């Protein structure tokens, strides 16, 4: 049996915050606004898995009203989501991630992100796809005011 999940997230760019994408600390003069470490990529990874399992969204499981999630590494949220997935007898078949950013070039960090995400999901790097686009100066994302991630995942019952 297969299950498919989708997620989209966007975070505004802010100063005086570290930039974390796909669990990787990215050299940047700006970071992303959010309650956790604001890793927009890992947020969509976790939420797409929750969606595939029909378990709601990230805010249901890790509410920003709970101080214990303040500045938490999003990799921890992904690990907790993977526990829920495994409890239900599923594994990641493959995952496809689209990152839209005019702030950070994705190509230099793509392979490191793929390896990190594959490790978190307990799957092969060959099952993790990361694509990038910039929006060519159109809208808030294209002007470097925000970064967006979209993700679709296919789970397979073990």
Class of the CATH domain delimited by 2-157: alpha beta
Please enumerate in sequence order all residues whose Cβ is within 8 A of that of 92, keeping only pairs 6 or more positions apart, or say none.
49, 85, 121, 122, 123, 127, 153, 154, 155, 156
State the Cα–Cα distance between residues 120 and 102, nearest whole angstrom: 26
HSE-up of residue 77 (Cα within 13 Å, Cβ side):
33
pLDDT-derived band at 136 (thresholds 50, 70, 90) equals confident
Asked if 148 and 131 count as a contact pair (C-beta separation under 8 A), the reply is no
CA–CA dist 135, 56 (Å, integer): 29
Per-residue confidence band for 14, with pLDDT thresholds at 50, 70 and 90: very high
The stretch 116-122 carries a mean pLDDT of: 98
pLDDT at 8 (0 to 100): 98
Q: Distance between CA atoms of 115 and 15, rounded to whole angstroms?
A: 28
Give me the pLDDT at residue 137, please: 86
* pTM, to two decimals: 0.96
| Mean pLDDT, residues 65-85 | 95
Contact 137, 145 (CB under 8 A): no
Note the pLDDT of residue 110: 98
For 28, the token pair is 């940047």
pLDDT at residue 142 tops 90 = yes
51-79 average pLDDT score? 95
Averaged pLDDT, 99-112: 96
pLDDT band at 125 (very low <50, low <70, confident <90, very high): very high
Average pLDDT over residues 18-46: 96
Mean of pLDDT values over 110-125: 98
- Assess contact for 80 and 121: CB atoms under 8 A: no
Q: Please choose, from the candidates 11, 54, 55, 9, the residue with its C-alpha nearest in 3D space to the C-alpha of residue 32.
A: 11
H/E element, 5: strand 2-15
């Amino acid at each position: 049996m297969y299950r498919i999940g989708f997620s989209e997230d966007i975070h505004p760019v802010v100063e005086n915050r570290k930039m974390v994408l796909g669990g990787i600390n990215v050299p940047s003069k700006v970071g992303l606004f959010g309650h956790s470490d604001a890793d927009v990529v890992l947020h969509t990874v976790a939420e797409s898995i929750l969606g595939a399992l029909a378990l709601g969204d990230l805010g249901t499981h890790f509410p920003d009203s709970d101080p214990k999630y303040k500045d938490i590494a999003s990799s921890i949220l992904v690990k907790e989501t993977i526990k829920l997935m495994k409890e239900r007898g599923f594994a990641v078949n493959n995952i496809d991630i689209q990152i839209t950013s005019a702030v950070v070039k994705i190509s230099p960090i793509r392979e490191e992100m793929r390896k990190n995400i594959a490790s978190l999901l307990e799957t092969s790097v060959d099952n993790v796809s990361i694509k990038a686009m910039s929006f060519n100066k159109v809208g808030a994302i294209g002007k470097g005011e925000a970064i967006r991630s979209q993700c679709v995942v296919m789970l397979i019952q073990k």
